[in-house]
Every structure is written in C-alpha cells, then in structure tokens.
Amino acid sequence: MDPARGGRLAGAVVRVEVGHGSAELVADADRPSAWTLLIDGTAQSHVDLADPTHLEFEYVRRTGHLLDALDPAPPAPLRVLHLGGGAWTLPRYVAATRPGSAQRVVELDGALVDLVRARLPADGLGLDVHVADARAGLTEVPPGSCDVVLLDVYAGARIPAHLTSVEFLQQVARVLRPGGCYAANLADGTGARTLQPRRTPLDFARGQAANAVAVFPEVAVVAAPDVLHGRRFGNVVLVAGGGDDHELPLDEVARRVAADPFPARVEPGEAFAATAAVVTDKTAVPSPRPPRGLFGQ
C-alpha cells in the first residue's frame, strides 16, 4: 500500500497541524489497514480502510447497531447527515452496509478534511463533504430531507455550547423526514472537570435528554450501566425521533448492545432526563471536560 494513501509501516504515526489543534494518525498494531485519529491527544476516530464495517469504539458500535436496526431486512439506502466528520468512520460504515445511501458530512476543520482525504481516502463512496460549522451547515439542509442526523462534534474534548440547546434540536427536527432518527454522542459522568456549582454526574446528559423529550416523540439513551449509574465518565448515545406510526427500533437496539463485548443498556429518555431543565441558547454551556488522563486528556 502507498503510505500516503492509507498504507504504512508498523507503528507509524502521522502528525499534522490542522485548523483546530494537532492531529495524529496512529497505526493500529492489531489491524494492518487501520488508523486512529487523535486531535490534541483525544482519540476522535478509528478507521479500518480494508474493513469499514469494523467499529472499534464502543459508542460508535452502538450507533452502528441503531443504523442497522432502522431497516434491518433488506438494508435499504438512507439519507444521512453527519454533523462532525472526524475520519468519516460512520459514513464509511453506512456506505458499506447500505450501498447507494446519500450522505452529507459537515466538518468545521478544513485542514482535517484535507488530511482525511489524503491519508484515509474514501474514494467512490459518494460522500458529500462540506466545510462548515455544524449548526450553520444544518440551516442549509432542506426540510424533511434526511432519514438520519448524527451528531459527533467535539472541540477540546467538549461539545460546543451552541450544539447543546433545544433550539439546535428544533433545527435537527426540521430536516428529518416524519419518523426520522437523530443520534448524538454525548460524554458525561463522574469525575468531569467543570466550574458549574453543585453539579452532579450526568447533569449535562440529562439536560440533553430533556431537550430531546421536548422536541421528539420518542427518546432513549444508550450507555454502559456504570456510566448510566454515574459511577464513571463515558459516552452516552442519545437517540430520538419516531412519530407518525414510525417507532424507533429500541427493543432491537437493546438486544444488540446487550450482546456486545462491552454491554450497554437502553433507558427511556423521559426517565433518564428526570427533572432536568430544558437547555436554551441562553443557558447552554459546553459539555463537561473529561477527567484528566481519560481519552488521552
């Protein structure tokens, strides 16, 4: 393989300054065609160029289960909007598992897009990649034009505040078809570094669930039990959508994530949100910083 186009020597590391930090592509010692993308030391994506159906990160695998369960047999094409690009792990997965899908990727960092195109090529997948802020890019999408919207945007290991409000979710709902699905990768839990007084574990994630309950007919969260119980910091996948006689396949997702090597659980969004207040543009804050040493921080 050409080292400039995804091939490498064992243990290879590629370091490049991108628009919003320092990017590293680190070769996977166990998978000859795989790389991990890190931004400022935080692992952002894992891609196996020879097997795009391999999803290394737990939360990404859980999102993959959701995508598979939306229309399990036969796997029909989907219209997917990806807010946040990383190394395009899930766009590659959708292209492999649902050929013919129409996919748009919105990524703020143009230098990162150039790096991924050059080093981790996705030739022939038909990805429509736009360099733009996720919320600004969302406003350019026609109403009702997406089956799925996926959010995975982090800056300095935190979700920017303008992507955490109920107004943002109302824009997401606008671009989804009736019965469409939204999923977001959140990070929260015990040990988070924050200046907010009297914060308890999962306050941020519960607020995001409250936003979704205010906008969508069906809401759930997917995470490992110890994260859901607030015993450690980790990823929480927020799932929302449904309505118009289109139920989210939450029972099927629950079966699939329970059978993973690192099992997870599906919890109803309204119960998870509990008494959390809806977050508006005026009250929104970035997601909490992870504990030191986690995610490479």
Q: Measured over all CA atoms, what is the biggest interatomic distance in the chain, rounded to whole angstroms?
A: 54
Please report, for residues 1, 36, 45, 84, 179, the alpha-carbon distance to residue 32 in angstroms, rounded to integers and kept in the order given: 10, 12, 16, 26, 40
Give the full edge-to-edge strand order of the sheet including 127-131: 127-131, 102-107, 79-83, 146-151, 176-188, 234-241, 218-223, 265-268
Section 135-141 average pLDDT: 96
Global pTM exceeds 0.85: yes
Q: What is the pLDDT of residues 228-245, one digit of tens each?
A: 998 899 999 999 998 877
Q: Which residue has the higher pLDDT, 6 or 127?
A: 127
Q: What is residue 193's predicted lDDT score, i.e. its pLDDT?
A: 53
User: Would you say residue 11 has pLDDT above 90?
Assistant: no
19 vs 22: CA distance, rounded Å: 8
Q: What is residue 157's predicted lDDT score, i.e. its pLDDT?
A: 86
Q: Any residues with CB less than 8 A from the CB of 85 and at least 6 apart, and which? A: 91, 105, 106, 107, 109, 112, 113, 116, 129
Q: At 2, is the pLDDT very low, low, confident or very high (cuts 50, 70, 90)?
A: very low
Q: What is residue 239's predicted lDDT score, i.e. its pLDDT?
A: 98
User: Would you say residue 116 has pLDDT above 90?
Assistant: yes
Q: Which domains does the chain have, with CATH numbers?
A: 51-289 (3.40.50.150)
Section 3-26 average pLDDT: 72
Q: What is the pLDDT of residues 190-217, one digit of tens each?
A: 765 554 555 678 999 999 999 999 999 9
**Cis status of the peptide bond prior to 121, with omega within 30 of 0:** no
User: Would you say residue 131 has pLDDT above 70?
Assistant: yes
Cα 277 to its chain centre, rounded Å, is 23
Section 67-93 average pLDDT: 93
89 vs 181: CA distance, rounded Å: 19
Q: What is residue 3's predicted lDDT score, i.e. its pLDDT?
A: 39
Q: What is residue 1's predicted lDDT score, i.e. its pLDDT?
A: 36
Give the up-direction half-sphere exposure of residue 285: CA atoms within 13 A in the CB hemisphere: 11
